[in-house]
Amino acid sequence: MGRLIVVSNRVALPSGTKSPGGLAVGVYDALRDSGGIWLGWNGETAADADADQALSTVTQDNITYATFPLAARDYDRYYRGFSNAVLWPVFHYRADLSRYRRADYDGYLQVNRAFVRRLAPLLRPDDVIWVHDYHLLALGGFCREQGIRNRIGFFLHIPFPTAEVFKAIPPHHALAQAMCAYDVVGFQTASDARAFSDYCVQHLGAEREASGVHVADRRVRIGTYPIGIDVDGVAAMARAKRSRQVAALKSGLEHRKLVISVDRLDYSKGLLERFAAFEQLLESAPAHRGRVSFVQLAPPSRSDVQGYREIRRELDRAAGRINGKWGELGWAPLRYINRAYERATLMPLLRAAQVGLVTPLRDGMNLVAKEYIAAQPPDDPGVLVLSQFAGAACEMEEGALIVNPYDTEGMADSLDRALHMPLAERIARYERLMQGLRLHDLAAWKDRFLADLRSSAKPGVTTKLPTLPA
């Protein structure tokens, strides 16, 4: 079996201080099994000349981590600009927040090309390449342009929008063409996969086939690979001895029930709508006043991208207003905390909550929904209240209470139902959800994707390929 080469925007270095999240664990296991290389940005920016310099490599446990800094200009155009101010909002159905500039798109293509320049010398003929996420949509096209004939797969962690929304990105055509240079293109949900193949059929003249599309003499396999979690790992972490933070939270709660939400601070996560629903609950069900606390953990992310500063300001205002209006001397209804916690602290916190409130306006999957369930005590589990717009809703609709995040009163009703749900119903729902989590766990995700990639037809040298702008 050939080696695996993983390419992603960021690389989780083995010496990193942050404990690795779901994706890093899955990629790490896959790489360790077959031996391989993980190539990507090291998270630092450098002066333009320094950034062009060689790759730093570290090898540990059969894995070589090959990383490099980004030039400050590239960080601006590729990362902050096209990736996070165009692709992220549009793919999350927020074309109104998109800030397209040609220079950013050029920077995006240049960085995708620079990734290929660094990748090419590392490759052996039987290596398979697995590329991750929206920062690298064009990488496959540049690999083919460079004559790389290895099998290359791509997995999109975020939603893929319908054609009408995708077309809000001026170079949508070139981007979709570049995606067709991959042998396997994987999505979180069947509707994301359908949206991509519909676009290919409607706008690239592709023919639909049983396993994907046929476009410009290439067969592209299009599949659904819902990402999962390491269920036993999360459960064990959640059960482990309680940290000081968890003890402090518990004693502060006294005997109140706890509703918890954990997100990166991002407009796609629906925090304002969630705060409004919690306030609606206090308004319409007075019995909960003084008896329920809502903890929202949301460390700021991408604070240098426009759109993120505004949402942060609005949330500060809403949290202050809710506590000012409803709080009492001995009770703060909402604790809104802008800092990140280690996973070893986070999982016991999830376990301590009677309700996990996961209500994004749009989300590729949302691993917190899955982690919340895996963290629960089996004999007294909490209830997951989940947005219909999270990818996770496709697999969790039978056990979670599914809500529409735009329906404030509906969300408040579901919160009320979750807080009152009898033990037998909670256990039945938890058991159903755990079965699904085990079936679609992290190992199944990477095994299925890699099996499809390894068995895809090897791209021939004469294959006609889609082209990208120079």
Q: In whole angstroms, what is the distance from residue 88 CA to residue 196 CA?
A: 16
- Residue in 224, 239, 189 with CA at minimum distance from that of residue 452: 224
Q: In whole angstroms, what is the distance from residue 116 CA to residue 431 CA?
A: 45
Q: Cβ closer to ligand ADQ: 282 or 374?
A: 374
Q: Cβ closer to ligand ADQ: 280 or 293?
A: 293
Is 363 an annotated catalytic residue? Answer: yes
Q: Cβ closer to ligand ADQ: 142 or 225?
A: 225
H or E, element range at 454: helix 442-454
Catalytic residue among 192, 230, 266, 363: 363
CB of 229 to ligand ADQ, least distance (A): 7
Residue 372 tokens read as 């919340």
H or E, element range at 449: helix 442-454
CB of 163 to ligand ADQ, least distance (A): 21
Q: Cβ closer to ligand ADQ: 55 or 394?
A: 394
Q: In whole angstroms, what is the distance from residue 84 CA to residue 2 CA?
A: 34
Report the Cα 2 to chain-centroid distance in Å: 28
Contacts of 140 (CB under 8 A, 6+ apart): 131, 152, 154, 178, 179, 181, 182
Q: Cβ closer to ligand ADQ: 163 or 340?
A: 340
Torsion 403-408-413-418 (CA) sign: positive
- Residue in 141, 143, 106, 140 with CA at minimum distance from that of residue 122: 143
Note the residues at the interface with ligand ADQ (CB under 6 A): 21-23, 157-158, 227, 262-264, 297-299, 340-341, 346, 363-368, 371
Catalytic residue among 92, 132, 135, 157: 157
Torsion 297-299-305-311 (CA) sign: positive
CB of 153 to ligand ADQ, least distance (A): 15
CB of 365 to ligand ADQ, least distance (A): 3
CB of 234 to ligand ADQ, least distance (A): 9
Name the residues annotated as catalytic.
157, 363
